[in-house]
Chain A
Amino acid sequence: MRQTILRALEQVYGNLVHMIAEFLPRFLVMLIIIVIGLLVAFVLKYILRALLGLTKLDRVSDDAGASRVLRMAHLPPMTELLSRSIFWVTWIGFILVGLSVLGVAGLQEQISRLFQFLPEVFVAILILFLGAVIANFLSRTALLAAVNAGHPSPKILSWSIRFVIWILAISMTLEELGVARRTVISAFSIIFGATMLGLAIAFGLGGQDLARKCLERYLGDTKKKEEKEPQPL
């Protein structure tokens, strides 16, 4: 009996040593891949930073209002943000490749699914970010134009535009992520269509007198405004 136990222990010990002997090289390969990935990520980061610096992306970002959105979120400027993003994307990619080398059952499948999902996540984040920038820019454009034209309710106009663009951006993001696709599309269509129809009915039918007065005021005001302010130059 003692022999059997010893033999069993020897076998387990042998298996363990064998497993470690098999695992260690893969672990070392993983570490090498991660270190190489870190170096590649650094190189790509500096190359991208130099290239984006030549294209004056920060200036374009300032003009588009993206820089302000980034500053409000306590994020670095666009060039730095993209450079750091490429660094982390590259390194995480190498880390995942390194992990897949370990050959752990089940992990490879999860890593594969994550790789497939990552592009959609990036696109979704991009859609949200662009939506925020465009909403910010267009709502501010509308506000300034309405204020300088003497429009009676400039903030309502501005907020309406911001609201519509945000709804559109969120719907597109959820559709990209594949979250309740049909529900989101249907809900967006219903809300947007109902809102536009309601506004058209309220203004054109319910407020036809007001609509007529607004048009008369607008067409008359444009000429009067030019005559009632001093020539600036």
Chain B
Amino acid sequence: MAEDVFLSDDLLRQLMSVGEVDLLVGMSSLHAANTVSHALDEIEESFQRNFVRQRVVIVNVGGGDNDEDSARAKGHDNLAEKGVRVPGITSLRTSHRVAANVPGSPSPGIALRTILAAADLLRARACAVVSPAASNLTPDSVANLLRPVYREKFDFVAPLYTRNKYQGLLARNLLYPMSRALFGWGIRELFSEEWAFSGRLAALCLNQDVWHEEAIQARPEAWMAISAMASDFRCCQAFLGEKSQATKGLGRDIVEVLRQTVGTLFWCLETRQSLWLDSGRSQSVPTFGPAHELTSDPTDLDRHRIFEMFRSGVTELEPILSSILDPETHSEIKSIVSLEEGKFRFKSGLWVRTLYDFAASYHHAVINRDHLVQALAPLYRGMTYSFLAEHSDSSPAEMETASETLCGEFELQKPYLMERWKAKVEVKS
């Protein structure tokens, strides 16, 4: 098997001593020394409460022999071995812990590949990936991820959260509507730190020769979801509660987030053209638990700075944007840049055309693809400013309606993307 090449002997020995399992929960504990113990206890408690009869294992992927997290996970007695039991619950099985030490600092892609290999070797029926740094990790959230796969036979489970209405705007205004319009599945959180999948999806993904790709190294979860869609596997969403604030790892730097998420989405469009280019498929996504919720807690955002960075960005990057955008789109953007801050609005039609121009230009590689994604940052800031200004007093229901309208706009303009995608590129000097 392919995993024999990159799995260490120590890991293989640990896995062989575990044997076959029903459930596997994997996590990467790199740079999460303070929270890995708590995460392990939460997962253990979830197993004891919700999966008393099942054979379970936790796979912790750490970095190098000196990694404190890995040593802690390996040597840490599990709740069962310590004799700690959840009151009123008696687990019939021993839950195993496996520590996978990967040389250096394993990227999310390498960590996922290790987890998939372990799941494949152990023939796990249901698997979940969680983040030890997530503050919303509870026994219930782990169970909510695993149940749809284990009991309802779904192959991919994406999370759903309660969010502040001003957070997750990249997902709300770009990733979700664009992926829904093109791939036909309305998965809200395509990029997240926790998701679940079946053993057969794990085997499918493990055998694909994409693990050296930068997009997979940074954010592999979206690619897994799209692989499930491409193979007509069953996908669903599960409500996990409130979204935890990102502290490390994800990065709050918008440029880095764009490179990881939009870059990966564009890469998926490029490599999965047959899935979306000439098909008009549309699938509803079942949801377990409440649909995602929005809260209206106040936030402290410097809107003026966001607008100024949009305006200066579009002005300074004009030569680059002229090679990416359609002349009409570029002209419209230049005309709105000159508007006063109070009157500025980035209309949804223009935003959609802008994104589709970027996607088509990514396909034609008119400039270096990493540079192309970075050039989107000022425009994203402009859209963010416009969104914040337009919905400062909107209720969550009104925002949801606006989101659906935006999704409709993405679907309406899909022929525009297809036309630009298939067109021959012209050089703009």
Contacts and interface: CB of A to CB of B under 8 A. Distances in A.
13 contacts: A64-B368, A65-B368, A143-B317, A144-B374, A147-B378, A148-B378, A155-B316, A226-B253, A228-B305, A233-B171, A233-B191, A233-B246, A233-B257
A228 B301 CA distance: 5
Interface residues of A, number: 30
B371 interface: yes
Given A144-B317, A230-B167, A231-B168, A68 B427 contact: yes
B245 interface: yes
From A62, A148, A150, residue with most partner B Cβ within 10 Å = A148
A230 B313 contact: no
Contacts, number: 99
A72 B428 CA distance: 7
Contact of A140 (B299, B320, B425): B320
Contacts of A228: 300-302, 305-306
A230 B427 contact: no
A72 B192 CA distance: 40
Interface string B237-271: 00000000110001011110110010000000000
B367 A229 contact: no
Given A140-B320, A228-B301, A63 B168 contact: no
Contacts of A150: 309, 312
A229 B369 CA distance: 25
Category for how many chain B residues contact A: 35 or more
A212 to B, nearest CB: 22
B399 interface: no
Contact of A137 (B168, B317, B368): B368
A230 B388 contact: yes
B365 A63 contact: yes
B389 interface: no
A232 interface: yes
Nearest to A59: B365
Interface of A: 59, 62-65, 67-68, 71-72, 74, 137, 140-141, 143-145, 147-148, 150, 154-155, 225-233
Dominant SS among interface residues on chain A: helix
B372 to A, nearest CB: 10
Interface of B: 166-171, 191-192, 245-246, 250, 252-255, 257-258, 261, 299-302, 305-306, 309, 312-313, 316-317, 320, 323, 365-371, 374-375, 377-378, 381, 384, 388, 425, 427, 429
B367 A140 contact: yes
Q: List 8 A-B pairs, minimum CB-CB distance, nearest first.
A: A232-B170, A228-B302, A62-B365, A71-B427, A144-B374, A231-B167, A226-B252, A148-B255
Nearest to B426: A71
Contact of A147 (B168, B246, B317): B317
Contacts of A71: 425, 427
B426 to A, nearest CB: 9
B168 to A, nearest CB: 6
Nearest to A70: B427
B246 to A, nearest CB: 6
Contacts of A62: 365, 368-369
B191 A147 contact: no
Contacts of B425: 71
A180 B255 CA distance: 46
Nearest to B190: A233
B316 A154 contact: yes
